[in-house]
């Protein structure tokens, strides 16, 4: 029995904050949905909550630092309200496990990435026993389909199709925090998608840490292209995107599926991390800069309208000026639509730990700035090429900054803003692009 239930009318309140990637956003939605079954409603500040959850990310130290700072800030809340339950979920919970409970005595719950379906049960246990609980088993047989969503919010939805990563990139903590690869059966994805479409979803983003190895270990070994082909004909589904793709599992079959299946958007998030072969080898990325460029050529030959996005790490141990120049060359040569650039952060338990962190912070910062500037120029140029053209946009609703203006995305993932002109979220419209900024295309709806 939740101890706060003194009055039958009392509504238990949940504050949940999410750090990190789209998978975490989805996981938080699933946790929220399963807690709603126990009567929890979401609130927007920790002060009002009976249950505070942080769904954490470990990919860089900065993400963990933010959580540590939140935990410090809410210590006082727990002192004044001992019945408050505080939980850490996700990657940091997985990585640090029991250590979090000793380091932060006001934390009650530590729940890793593969036991999130147990959160409601564990919270009840804590409320009854007043003792902390920890669930950080990283078994491969994560039960994907037992957690309900809180209901869809607009025309876009995330669907996880595989979890975990069997790769061994030297810098990356994800294989430790998310465990071994595990794919959701194809029919389960189809059913989940149909359910979302019934609720008004038009575009799905399929999620997986290493999505193009989808299907390994499933009966019949379907691959990502097979999955896309099974989803494409579902009535009411307008668009499919998928992240994150790694160079080593990209196949011609997948590129062909992107070109041939009408719902699959011509946009690929396709990290190369470094343009230097020496660094790629040390990162254990199993491809060279030339291999990557060849894949980019194949992608563009088979999917002529494709836009690419990438992740890049600067300041990896041993990265000298020449290595960095090779990364700059790659950025200039490929001309990505977007590049997410990260300063290297040592992660405990990864193989790169033994290399230390020799690149000075100012060097990392300046390399980061240089790449950002180059990428901004390229992005702006690509946006300018769209001016005067008509682009298909899926209307998402009021833009974050100016609510009287609507926003949406083109198939190639340009953000576009436009006056609503009678459109509603979920409409597919044509927008005539009038001008652009480095961040968005601006235009008007010209047909629907």
Binding site for ligand SF4 (CB under 6 A): 165, 167, 169, 172, 174-175, 209-210, 246
Q: Would you state the structure tokens that stand for residue 266, as one six-digit string?
A: 């011509």
Q: Sheet containing 239-243: which strands, arranged edge to edge? A: 156-160, 203-207, 239-243
Given 311, 335, 357, 430, the residue binding ligand 5AD (CB under 6 A): 311
Closest CB to ligand SF4 among 93 and 172?
172
The tokens 């196949």 sit on which residue?
A: 251
Q: Provide, rounded to whole angstroms, the least separation between the CB of residue 94 and ligand SF4.
A: 14
Separation CA 370–CA 361 (nearest Å): 14
Q: Provide, rounded to whole angstroms, the least separation between the CB of residue 151 and ligand 5AD.
A: 29
Q: Which listed option, ligand 5AD, ligand SF4, none, makes contact with residue 110 (CB within 5 to 8 Å by class)? A: none
Separation CA 162–CA 357 (nearest Å): 32
Give the residue among 303, 266, 299 at the shortest CA–CA distance from 411.
266
Q: Would you state the structure tokens that stand for residue 72, as one six-digit string?
A: 């410090």
Q: Provide, rounded to whole angstroms, the least separation between the CB of residue 230 and ligand 5AD.
A: 27
Q: Provide, rounded to whole angstroms, the least separation between the CB of residue 176 and ligand SF4.
A: 9
Q: Which of residues 57-86 bind ligand 5AD (CB under 6 A)?
A: 59-60
**Stretch touching ligand 5AD by CB under 6 A, among 22-30, 105-113, 344-352, 380-388:** 344-352
Binding marks (x or -) toward ligand 5AD, 246..275, rule CB under 6 A?
A: -------------------------x-x--
Q: Which listed option, ligand SF4, ligand 5AD, none, makes contact with residue 210 (CB within 5 to 8 Å by class)? A: ligand SF4
Number of residues that this document lists for the chain: 448
Residue 269 is given by DSSP the state E
Closest residue by beta carbon to ligand SF4? 172
Distances in Å between the alpha carbon of 85 and those of 128, 148, 271, 336?
11, 22, 39, 45
Q: Provide, rounded to whole angstroms, the least separation between the CB of residue 248 and ligand SF4.
A: 9
Closest CB to ligand SF4 among 87 and 175?
175
Q: Would you state the structure tokens that stand for residue 169, as one six-digit string?
A: 């990139």
Task: Spell 205-223 as b/e; 16+ CB within 10 A means b.
Answer: bbbbbbbbbbbbebeeebb
Residue 113 is given by DSSP the state T
Given 172, 237, 279, 308, the residue binding ligand 5AD (CB under 6 A): 172
Residues 6+ apart with CB under 8 A from 430: 390, 391, 392, 393, 445, 446, 447, 448
Closest CB to ligand 5AD among 193 and 268?
268
Residue 185 is given by DSSP the state P
Site residues for ligand 5AD per CB under 6 A: 59-60, 171-172, 271, 273, 311, 313, 342, 344-345, 347
């Amino acid at each position: 029995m939740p101890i706060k239930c003194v009055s039958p009318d009392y509504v238990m309140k949940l504050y949940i904050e999410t750090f990190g990637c789209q998978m975490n956003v989805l996981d938080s939605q699933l946790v929220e949905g399963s807690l709603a079954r126990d009567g929890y409603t979401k609130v927007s500040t920790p002060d009002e909550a009976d249950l505070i959850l942080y769904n954490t990310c470990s990919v860089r130290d900065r993400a963990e630092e933010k959580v540590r700072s939140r935990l410090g800030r809410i210590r006082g809340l727990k002192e004044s309200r001992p019945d408050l339950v505080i939980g850490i979920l996700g990657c940091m919970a997985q990585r640090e496990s029991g250590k979090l409970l000793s380091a932060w005595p006001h934390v009650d719950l530590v729940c890793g990435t593969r036991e999130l379906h147990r959160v409601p049960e564990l919270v009840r246990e804590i409320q009854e026993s007043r003792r902390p609980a920890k669930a950080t088993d990283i078994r491969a047989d994560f039960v994907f389909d037992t957690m309900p969503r809180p209901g869809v919010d607009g025309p876009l939805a995330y669907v996880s199709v595989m979890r975990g990563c069997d790769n061994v990139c030297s810098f990356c903590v994800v294989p430790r925090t998310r465990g071994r690869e595990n794919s959701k059966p194809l029919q389960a994805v189809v059913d989940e998608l149909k359910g979302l479409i019934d609720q008004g979803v038009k575009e799905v983003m399929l999620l997986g840490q290493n999505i193009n190895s989808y299907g390994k270990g499933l009966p019949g070994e379907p691959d990502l292209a097979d999955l896309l082909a099974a989803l494409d004909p579902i009535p009411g589904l307008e668009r499919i995107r998928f992240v994150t793709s790694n160079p080593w599992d990209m196949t011609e079959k997948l590129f062909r599926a992107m070109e041939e299946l009408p719902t699959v958007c011509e946009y690929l998030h396709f990290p190369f991390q470094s343009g230097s072969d020496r660094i790629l080898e040390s990162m254990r990325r199993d491809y060279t800069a030339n291999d990557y460029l060849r894949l980019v050529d194949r992608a563009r030959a088979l999917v002529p309208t494709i836009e690419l996005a990438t992740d890049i790490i600067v300041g990896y141990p041993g990265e000298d000026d020449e290595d960095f120049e090779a990364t700059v060359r790659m950025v200039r040569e490929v001309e990505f639509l977007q590049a997410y650039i990260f300063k290297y952060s040592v992660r405990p338990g990864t193989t790169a730990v033994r290399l230390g962190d020799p690149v000075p912070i100012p060097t990392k910062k300046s390399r980061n700035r240089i790449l950002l500037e180059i990428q901004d120029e390229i992005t702006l140029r690509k946006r300018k090429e769209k001016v005067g053209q008509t682009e298909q946009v899926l209307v998402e609703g009021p833009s974050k900054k100016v609510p009287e203006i609507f926003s949406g995305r083109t198939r190639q993932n340009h953000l576009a803003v436009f006056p609503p002109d009678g459109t509603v979220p979920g409409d597919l419209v044509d927008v005539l692009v009038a001008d652009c900024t480095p961040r968005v295309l601006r235009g008007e709806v010209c047909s629907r």
